[in-house]
C-alpha cells in the first residue's frame, strides 16, 4: 500500500466516522438528497484538518532539526573562540574545520527543504 493510498484510506474512514456522528446528532443529514452535500462538506473539512495537521508536524520536525544543526554551529564557534584564546594552532585548525562542517550541514539541511 502506498503512502497516498494510506492517506486516502484515513481520510475516507474519518469522513465516514464524522458523518455517522453528525447523522446521529442531526438526523436530517441522513436524508437521501442532503447526505451527499453533507458528505462533500465533511470531506472538505477533514482534508483541510489532515493537511494542516501534517504541515504542522512537518514544521515542528524542521524546527527541531534546524535548531539542532544551528546548535552544532554555535558549539563549534564557541570551541573556536576558546581555541583562539589559548593560541593552540592545532586546536584552532580543528575548531575551524568543525565550524565548516557544521555550516555545511546546516546549509545542506536548508537545501533539502527548498
pLDDT in tens, 28-82: 988 989 999 999 999 999 999 888 888 888 788 878 878 888 888 888 888 888 8
CA–CA separation, 92 and 20 (whole Å): 67
Please, what is the average pLDDT of the chain? 85
**pLDDT reading at 114 higher than 60:** no
**pLDDT reading at 113 higher than 60:** no
User: What percentage of the chain reaches a pLDDT higher than 70?
Assistant: 95
Q: For 12-81, give the DSSP string.
A: HHHHHHHHHHHHHH-GGGGSTTTHHHHHHHHHHHHHHHHHHHHHHHHHHHHHHHHHHHHHHHHHHHHHHH
pLDDT of residue 41: 93
pLDDT of residue 109: 67
pLDDT of residue 112: 60
In a 10 Å sphere around its CB, with 0-12 CB exposed, 13-18 middle and 19+ buried, how is residue 103 labelled?
Answer: middle
Q: 93: which 3 cell numbers?
A: 585548525
> What is the arithmetic mean of pLDDT over 8-19?
88
Domain span at residue 25 reads 3-112
Number of structural domains the chain divides into: 1
pLDDT of residue 24: 92
Amino acid at each position: 500500500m502506498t503512502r497516498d493510498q494510506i492517506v486516502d484510506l484515513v481520510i475516507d474512514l474519518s469522513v465516514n466516522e464524522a458523518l455517522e456522528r453528525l447523522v446521529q446528532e442531526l438526523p436530517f443529514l441522513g436524508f437521501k438528497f442532503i447526505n451527499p452535500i453533507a458528505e462533500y462538506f465533511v470531506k472538505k473539512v477533514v482534508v483541510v484538518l489532515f493537511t494542516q495537521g501534517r504541515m504542522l508536524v512537518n514544521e515542528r520536525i524542521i524546527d527541531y532539526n534546524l535548531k539542532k544543526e544551528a546548535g552544532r554551529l554555535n558549539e563549534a564557534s564557541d570551541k573556536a573562540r576558546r581555541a583562539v584564546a589559548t593560541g593552540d594552532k592545532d586546536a584552532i585548525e580543528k575548531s575551524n574545520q568543525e565550524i565548516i562542517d557544521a555550516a555545511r550541514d546546516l546549509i545542506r539541511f536548508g537545501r533539502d527543504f527548498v
